[in-house]
Structure 1
Amino acid sequence: MDVLSFLEDPLVLIFVILLLGSVLGQLSIKGLNLGASGVLLAAMVFGHFGYIIPSTVQNLGLSLFIVAVGLQAGPRFFKMIKSTGIVFGILGFLIVLIASITTIIVAQVFQLSAPLSIGLMTGALTSTPGLAAALEATNDPIASVGYGIAYPFGVIAVVLFIQLLPRMLKTDLKKDLKRTTGPVKHKGSPKSKMFKVENEQLHKKTLKELKLNQNSSVVISKVIRGDRSFLGRNDTVILKGDELIAVGFSEDLDTLKEKVGSEVRTRIEYKDNLKIKKIPVESEELIGKNLREIKLRANYGVNVTRMERGGFEFNQNPSWRFERGDILTVVGSERRLKLVENLFGKRQHSETNVHILSLSLILLLGIFVGMIPITIPGIGSMTLGVAGGPLFVAILIGHFGKLGPIHARFYQPSNRVIRDLGLVLFLAGAGTNAGSGLVEVVINEGFRLIIGGAIITIVPIFLGYFIAKKLFKLSIIHSLGALCGGMTSTPGLGACNNLIDTDDPAIAYAAAYPFALFFVALAAQVLALIL
């Protein structure tokens, strides 16, 4: 039997494309690689030779990928709307808007078709959900060709901009971060300090009556009085001469010092009783609950100082609803930390799989929402479709975590498996469909596609940074982090993280990314009506 005849079997074809695409995606040149988009390029080659993956496989991959992305973005999306982080969200929207306007101009100047133009935009913004929306809105697989041509430049341009800009400006990024006002203030790493109560007005007051700022990161873990010590609860009474052990960022600790008295640099033995431990959230019983509901400080005598989700760290927040895989930084005695570890670790191996019922309901609701016609005055009507509908529903349900029988707080590694598997299946299908016309399009439109993709990439980068720095008065680091989120560029975030040892780039990225994610998918459908 001919070796190539095996490729006639769709199952064999899929895994051959995934294998070769994965190898191609992992090839690195000076730290840059194509990642999952290697599958798209490999699939295009097979598509050129007439091999096609069934559309059902492509649609299945698209559905899984879009829902996983929406569930991941949901918890941050609405949280940022209600906070000062909305500035980053606005930036994400403006970057997509600039890219959309640039795409319209490029399409007119270079006489490019709507599918190619929209594909270029999604590639320039390195947005696979945008490509999915583009394919559905245009019903033309050639959009994948535009994406594949613009994507490499979209990755490289953002990384180069981030690496070269600080060198050209010759600015001390840490000093710029500290002196620049913005929605996120630079605070450094949390520390533990001891303070002596010397303020007469605090004598016989409770810790709650200290009235720490609501946004303060400070947590008072223990009150020491002579040879005795008390847990740092809201109803704990403090006396003049007591010593407080507090954990928080330097800036907030300095504020506490001004209110309380002086810092104590001796009696280190008291600190030895306190341990700091990172505890993962694994218990099914605690998923969807928050610190306020489980009364961790009152019932267990420990304090949570930080919370980490998806690689990003945040100050502790009593209203933060737990997802499986969250990591809490907890301060307390070794015995109490063990109790808390058992609390959050119950049944940690009993259920780490996806809730199939919930996933199915989210997909069905998303598809139904995607069918609802939306009228845009002066342009026409559109639908969110198979890409936009599930994305919107997943973001909404991801925010609440649970709606009736629907559980959206999946175990994070499981969510990544859904996302990555769905992505490569979708790219494999989209690539083979686009590959049939690849050579012809590149021969006829090659130069115009390359130049057009470069323009659609460069204009949002420069204008987005200018708006962040000049209009919103953000620091260089916050501007670059938001730019990466608006361009949905994870490699760009990696380059940004290498510039400075803080989590500020990641915070700005995480705030802008969900907005850009949603608006790119929406823009693809609107542009399909305009172009």
Structure 2
Amino acid sequence: MILALVIALGIMLGKVKVAGVSLGVTGILFVGIAFSYFGMNIDEHLMHFLKEFGLILFVYSIGLQVGPGFFSSFRKGGITLNKLAVLVVALGVVTTVALYYVTGLPMTTMVGVMSGAVTNTPGLGAAQQAFSDLHAGADAPDIATGYALAYPLGVIGAILTLLALRYLLRIDVRQEEEAAGLGTDVLKDLTTRRISVEICNPAVEGKSISGIRRLALRDFVVSRICRPGEAPELADAATTLRCGDRILLVAAPKDAEALVALLGREVDAGPMMPDRKMISRRILITKPELNGKTLAELRIRSTSGVTITRINRSGIDLVAAGNLQLQLGDRVTVVGPELSVAHAERLFGNSLKRLNHPNLIPIFIGIALGVVLGSISFWIPGVPQPVKLGLAGGPLIVAILIGRYGPHYRLITYTTMSANLMLREVGISLFLAGVGLGAGEDFVPTLVAGGYVWIAYGAVITIVPLLLAGLFGRFYYKLNYYTLIGVLSGASTNPPALAYSTEQTTSDAPSVGYATVYPLSMFLRVLAAQLLILIFG
């Protein structure tokens, strides 16, 4: 009953907005602290189990969500964005260690403050787990207290820093908006662009599309071709091009300019589009037997009479190259006659009902493997104690690996966003309720005895890394402002900051930037919290 009341009242508290900012699910932590302070608590062993089980559910569901996009985020543009995210995390750790030496506070307190300052709950869990392993099951209440005190200003401070960067960098909103829409920074490696080209180069006369692809050394898809005086028709790898032909191609924006220069000149795409015989539709892949197969294996052009132009996975559009492996839940864009598109729909499934059925075997096998991996000790040079990934790091790594490589072995790891979110929210609710109930007795005495100063330390850990990394990303990497604030929000694993960022623009630059760096940032935050406890705690 106490657990249910803490979670229900905490979620209600988290929905209350002050100056447009709310605590979100962290409201559960504060209600748990209040219940514990007034003597309403649960059995210690039960609380310990619920806290750890909730943490496992939470980090495992995060790993499953980010796994498919984790390694693809290290492509050319993604590497630049992830370098900036690593810089944010490193500056946060350096600032925390500096405050540890300046203030003389225990590292347990400082790690709690650091996790709250960057709103990173898995980091809190990892720190508590590391301390427990180090001290034979003992708890450190000041980790949760530091987190609770630093969290509110961690949300507000991040948003205010992003706003301050806008004025410090003298951002021209209109210009940045246009640039974000065109993909003029490293984001151009993570999206696709559709362009219409008229063939003017005699050197490509009579060459097939597959031959031009080998010549250009770039991935692109030609969806339609329009010969002079004829209606648009589908193109495939064997289609030959002649001067005067117009083609509609899809490529990464970074390749578009080179392809246009090779083929001819860019023209208006309008005349290619209003063809009633050709339709374009996004189809959901829901048939398990397609999981892990490449586009080349399917031979979709010859079997269904349609062309696949791009694939949307985890919110990012990918060029439909022949060696690209399909995953359950991908959305493929197909172009072709209506009857052929209907045939392709039957081939791919396009059944939300089938996706809604949960695949529990990978979840529980993954959790078991994650717990085993988290229990293995290994030595890091310079660290006096053996390091364990623990119940936060182990399941997270296994979930990322299963989410990424499961389809290669025909393992269906897809869960719908709603199912993943339910699993994640239940896990985080149990974890925060357990943390709050465990920290309540010491919270008020700590606060009265000078703990309120921790709020200021948290603000420093929030603002300094974001400010320095923001200036570096703008002046060194020349990042678009909207991409930059998305990356900084992702590096802080801060959903409220992302919500603020997306409200500032009509482009999806902040969301793509956030999604690109979030997996690595989450992993590094969990690892950093553990290492700080093991080295200094």
Give the alignment's TM-score, normalised by structure 2: 0.87
Post-superposition shift, 1:472? 3.3
Post-superposition shift, 1:213? 4.9
Question: 1:200 aligns to what?
Answer: 202
Amino acid at match of 1:305: T
User: Relative to structure 2, which stretch is displaced further, 452-461 or 179-188?
Assistant: 179-188
Please tell me whether the aligned partners of residues 359 and 412 of structure 2 are also in contact (alpha carbons under 8 angstroms): yes
The answer to whether the aligner puts 1:35 opposite 2:24 as a matched pair is yes
Match of 1:127 among 102, 120, 139: 120
Task: Please give the alpha-carbon distance, in whole angstroms, between the structure 1 residues aligned to 2:315 and 2:273.
Answer: 33
Match of 1:236 among 223, 236, 239: 239
Unaligned runs of 5+ in 1: 1-11
Question: 1:343 aligns to what?
Answer: 347
Residue-by-residue CA offset, 1:408-446 (whole Å, 9 max, x unaligned): 333333222211221111111111111222111211232
Residue-by-residue CA offset, 1:174-209 (whole Å, 9 max, x unaligned): 64547997532399984563x443433333221122
Match of 2:223 among 213, 220, 224: 220
Q: SS in structure 2 opposite 1:331?
A: strand
1:184-195 to 2 correspondence within 5 Å? 184-185=187-188, 190-191=193-194, 193=196, 195=197
Question: 1:148 aligns to what?
Answer: 148
Change (3 A) 1:231 1:470: same
Please tell me whether the aligned partners of residues 162 and 495 of structure 1 are also in contact (alpha carbons under 8 angstroms): no
Q: How many residues align?
A: 519
Task: Please give the alpha-carbon distance, in whole angstroms, between the structure 2 residues aligned to 1:101 and 1:269.
Answer: 54
User: Relative to structure 2, which stretch is displaced further, 258-267 or 481-490?
Assistant: 258-267
Amino acid at match of 1:136: Q
Change (3 A) 1:199 1:472: closer
Change (3 A) 1:267 1:230: closer
Change (3 A) 1:492 1:316: farther
Please tell me whether the aligned partners of residues 401 and 409 of structure 1 are also in contact (alpha carbons under 8 angstroms): no
Please tell me whether the aligned partners of residues 358 and 405 of structure 1 are also in contact (alpha carbons under 8 angstroms): no
Question: 1:5 aligns to what?
Answer: none
Task: Please give the alpha-carbon distance, in whole angstroms, between the structure 1 residues aligned to 2:198 and 2:313.
Answer: 35
Question: 2:135 aligns to what?
Answer: none
Post-superposition shift, 1:320? 4.3
Question: 1:17 aligns to what?
Answer: 6
Question: 1:437 aligns to what?
Answer: 442
Match of 1:64 among 57, 75, 82: 57
Match of 2:457 among 439, 452, 456: 452
Task: Please give the alpha-carbon distance, in whole angstroms, between the structure 2 residues aligned to 1:399 and 1:142.
Answer: 36
Task: Please give the alpha-carbon distance, in whole angstroms, between the structure 1 residues aligned to 2:143 and 2:391.
Answer: 16
Change (3 A) 1:242 1:454: closer
Change (3 A) 1:14 1:222: farther
Question: 2:468 aligns to what?
Answer: 463
Change (3 A) 1:355 1:249: closer
Match of 1:301 among 279, 291, 305: 305
Task: Please give the alpha-carbon distance, in whole angstroms, between the structure 2 residues aligned to 1:251 and 1:358.
Answer: 37
Amino acid at match of 1:285: E
Please tell me whether the aligned partners of residues 190 and 249 of structure 1 are also in contact (alpha carbons under 8 angstroms): yes
Post-superposition shift, 1:363? 1.2
Residue-by-residue CA offset, 1:17-55 (whole Å, 9 max, x unaligned): 221111111122343221111112212211222313622
Please tell me whether the aligned partners of residues 353 and 414 of structure 1 are also in contact (alpha carbons under 8 angstroms): no
Q: SS in structure 1 opposite 2:31?
A: helix
Match of 1:421 among 399, 423, 426: 426
Please tell me whether the aligned partners of residues 281 and 333 of structure 2 are also in contact (alpha carbons under 8 angstroms): yes
Post-superposition shift, 1:122? 0.7
Residue-by-residue CA offset, 1:467-518 (whole Å, 9 max, x unaligned): 3223434333333222111111122122222333322222222222111101
Amino acid at match of 2:47: P
Percent identical: 32
1:461-500 to 2 correspondence within 5 Å? 461-500=466-505
Please tell me whether the aligned partners of residues 315 and 512 of structure 2 are also in contact (alpha carbons under 8 angstroms): no
User: Relative to structure 2, which stretch is displaced further, 124-133 or 231-240?
Assistant: 231-240
Change (3 A) 1:106 1:198: closer
Q: SS in structure 2 opposite 1:401?
A: helix
User: Relative to structure 2, which stretch is displaced further, 356-365 or 494-503?
Assistant: 494-503
User: Relative to structure 2, which stretch is displaced further, 520-529 or 47-56?
Assistant: 47-56
Change (3 A) 1:268 1:67: closer
1:178-327 to 2 correspondence within 5 Å? 182-185=185-188, 190-191=193-194, 193=196, 195-211=197-213, 213=216, 219-224=222-227, 226-227=229-230, 230-247=233-250, 256-261=259-264, 263=267, 271-327=275-331
Q: SS in structure 2 opposite 1:201?
A: helix
Residue-by-residue CA offset, 1:368-392 (whole Å, 9 max, x unaligned): 1112212122222221111111112
Change (3 A) 1:45 1:294: farther
Residue-by-residue CA offset, 1:58-87 (whole Å, 9 max, x unaligned): 221111111111122222222233534122
Please tell me whether the aligned partners of residues 306 and 328 of structure 1 are also in contact (alpha carbons under 8 angstroms): yes
Please tell me whether the aligned partners of residues 115 and 528 of structure 1 are also in contact (alpha carbons under 8 angstroms): yes
Task: Please give the alpha-carbon distance, in whole angstroms, between the structure 2 residues aligned to 1:114 and 1:322.
Answer: 45
Unaligned runs of 5+ in 2: 133-139
Question: 1:77 aligns to what?
Answer: 70
Match of 1:116 among 98, 106, 109: 109
Amino acid at match of 1:67: Y
Change (3 A) 1:502 1:270: closer
Please tell me whether the aligned partners of residues 486 and 513 of structure 2 are also in contact (alpha carbons under 8 angstroms): yes
Task: Please give the alpha-carbon distance, in whole angstroms, between the structure 2 residues aligned to 1:403 and 1:430.
Answer: 38
Post-superposition shift, 1:100? 1.2
Amino acid at match of 2:396: L
Post-superposition shift, 1:460? 1.1
Task: Please give the alpha-carbon distance, in whole angstroms, between the structure 1 residues aligned to 2:150 and 2:270.
Answer: 60
Please tell me whether the aligned partners of residues 10 and 28 of structure 2 are also in contact (alpha carbons under 8 angstroms): yes
User: Relative to structure 2, which stretch is displaced further, 322-331 or 84-93?
Assistant: 322-331
Please tell me whether the aligned partners of residues 230 and 236 of structure 1 are also in contact (alpha carbons under 8 angstroms): no
Please tell me whether the aligned partners of residues 118 and 527 of structure 1 are also in contact (alpha carbons under 8 angstroms): yes
Please tell me whether the aligned partners of residues 290 and 321 of structure 1 are also in contact (alpha carbons under 8 angstroms): yes
Task: Please give the alpha-carbon distance, in whole angstroms, between the structure 2 residues aligned to 1:264 and 1:324.
Answer: 35
Question: 2:137 aligns to what?
Answer: none
Change (3 A) 1:239 1:473: closer
Post-superposition shift, 1:272? 3.4
Task: Please give the alpha-carbon distance, in whole angstroms, between the structure 2 residues aligned to 1:70 and 1:482.
Answer: 19
Match of 1:382 among 387, 411, 416: 387
Please tell me whether the aligned partners of residues 188 and 502 of structure 1 are also in contact (alpha carbons under 8 angstroms): no
The answer to whether the aligner puts 1:398 opposite 2:391 as a matched pair is no
Post-superposition shift, 1:334? 2.1
Residue-by-residue CA offset, 1:241-266 (whole Å, 9 max, x unaligned): 43323456788666544444453678
Task: Please give the alpha-carbon distance, in whole angstroms, between the structure 2 residues aligned to 1:277 and 1:511.
Answer: 26
Post-superposition shift, 1:125? 1.1
Post-superposition shift, 1:340? 2.1
Match of 1:104 among 97, 105, 115: 97
Question: 1:8 aligns to what?
Answer: none
Change (3 A) 1:98 1:269: closer
User: Relative to structure 2, which stretch is displaced further, 179-188 or 307-316?
Assistant: 179-188
Post-superposition shift, 1:114? 2.4
Please tell me whether the aligned partners of residues 69 and 314 of structure 2 are also in contact (alpha carbons under 8 angstroms): no
Task: Please give the alpha-carbon distance, in whole angstroms, between the structure 1 residues aligned to 2:270 and 2:341.
Answer: 25
